[in-house]
Amino acid sequence: MLEEIAQQPEALARTIDREREKVKRLGRRLREQDVDLIVLVARGSSDNAALFGRYLLEVTTGIPVALSAPSVVTLYNARLRLKRAAVIGVSQSGEGEDINRVLAEAREGGALCTVGITNEPDSAMTGVVHETLLTHGGRERSVAATKTYTGQLLHFYMLAEALADGGAPLGFEAIPEFAADALDLRPRIEEMVERYVFMENCVVVGRGLVYANAFEMALKLMETCYVVAERFSSADFLHGPLAVVERHFPIFAFAPPGVTLGGVRELLGRLKELRADTLAFTSDREVAALATRAVRLPEEINEMLAVIPYIIPAQLFAALLADAKGLDPDAPRSLAKVTRTL
């Protein structure tokens, strides 16, 4: 897992180099088809990437984006009206039977375009969709997805820019370098994890474009460290779940610069009053002062580009904490790399 986390800058740069023109062509096709709905289909870490895709695509294109519930098709046999829609499946392996069935049904049902985002060029998914976008991460051996998750996030950046033709460039070309900078935070995180060896429960919060990272960090803590990790929007957490907080309760917060930062500051101020144990991923000095501990990221990483560099220290935290607990993050109990569900 640690090796694959370290491979992310190169994998991201490779994906930009090999897929960018293909994504541009896809963007032109979708604009010409006048798509007025995008449906994203995924499970697990890929579903977390799709959650980011929903935020980014709606913010940059104005096209409504829905996260599909695969069971609607696979268990309830519903036939969805998708004739004005593009349907995008996201899967590390490309072998998720439920994801591929939804894509096949969408294509047969008249969807304008079906797209698969996967790391495996010879997977079943590639035979189902109109267009395949590859994450060039190389083989991912650890059960816990890391480089494929960030590769999927990157594809949503490229697709958003291609769809918002004429809009302001997102600047995603800087992401591989930001990812490399994030890897330099490993010594700081190694200093922290020993304090959390006996952690059994925690909450992870984020909002807006990094809301997906709250889900992804919580999933990594559950998969690799066997910690019960709940995830919330920092706004929603104040509406009830705050009641679970008592002294030393662990809470992890993603707090990049931008429109959501004020709300996260407010939450951290309240948590400080409650004497919670908070760890913030942030570049903001005020947030770092409010939190019990902070992982400081470079200030030049703006809100739009934060999701990938901000998840890397969280990936490192999960992998290093698992090691400190004497666990093997590459082979979590009861899990397999490919999960087949309908």
Contact 176, 17 (CB under 8 A): no
Query: What sign for the dihedral angle of Cα 318, 324, 325, 327?
Result: positive
Q: Which of the four pLDDT bands, split at 50, 70 and 90, describes residue 334?
A: low
What tens digit of pLDDT does each residue of 248-280 get? Answer: 999 999 999 999 999 999 999 999 999 999 999
pLDDT at 330: 87
What pLDDT does residue 241 have? 83
Mean pLDDT value of segment 56-60: 97
How much is the average pLDDT of 306-330? 96
Q: Are 74 and 342 in contact (CB under 8 A)?
A: yes
Give per-residue pLDDT as tens, 110-141: 999 999 999 999 999 999 999 999 999 998 88
Please say whether the beta carbons of 260 and 282 come within 8 A: no
> Distances from the Cα of 205 to the Cαs of 218, 285, 342, in angstroms?
9, 18, 30
pLDDT of residue 239: 79
pLDDT higher for 103 or 334? 103
* pLDDT tens digits, one per residue of 138-160: 988 888 899 999 999 999 999 99
Got the DSSP string for 189-233?
A: HHHHHGGGTT--EEEEEE-GGGHHHHHHHHHHHHHHH--EEEEEE
173-215 pLDDT tens trace: 999 999 999 999 999 999 999 999 999 999 999 999 999 999 9
Decide: 205 and 254 in contact? Cβ < 8 Å. Answer: yes
φ/ψ of 41, rounded to 5, equals -125, 125
Question: Angle at the Cα of 110 (from 50 to 116), degrees rounded to 5?
Answer: 30
172 has a pLDDT exceeding 90? yes
Contact 115, 85 (CB under 8 A): no
| pLDDT interval class at 341 (50, 70, 90) | low
User: How much is the mean pLDDT over the chain?
Assistant: 94
Amino acid making up residue 55: Y
- Which of 75, 79, 78, 52 shows the shortest CA–CA distance to 65? 52
Mean local confidence (pLDDT), 100-109: 94
Q: Tokens at residue 21, please?
A: 């023109």
Model confidence band, residue 336 (pLDDT cutoffs 50, 70, 90): low
Share of the chain above pLDDT 90, in %: 88
Joined tokens for residue 223:
């998969």
Cβ proximity of 114 and 130 under 8 Å: yes
Cα separation, 69 vs 41, in Å, equals: 7
Residues 6+ apart with CB under 8 A from 158: 16, 19, 20, 23, 24, 172
17 Cβ contact list (under 8 Å, min separation 6):
none
pLDDT confidence tier of residue 293, bands split at 50, 70 and 90? very high
Describe the chain by its helix, strand, coil percentages, rounded to 5: 50, 15, 35
Confidence of residue 335 (pLDDT cuts 50, 70, 90): low
Write down all domains in the chain, each with its CATH number in brackets: 2-172 (3.40.50.10490), 184-324 (3.40.50.10490)
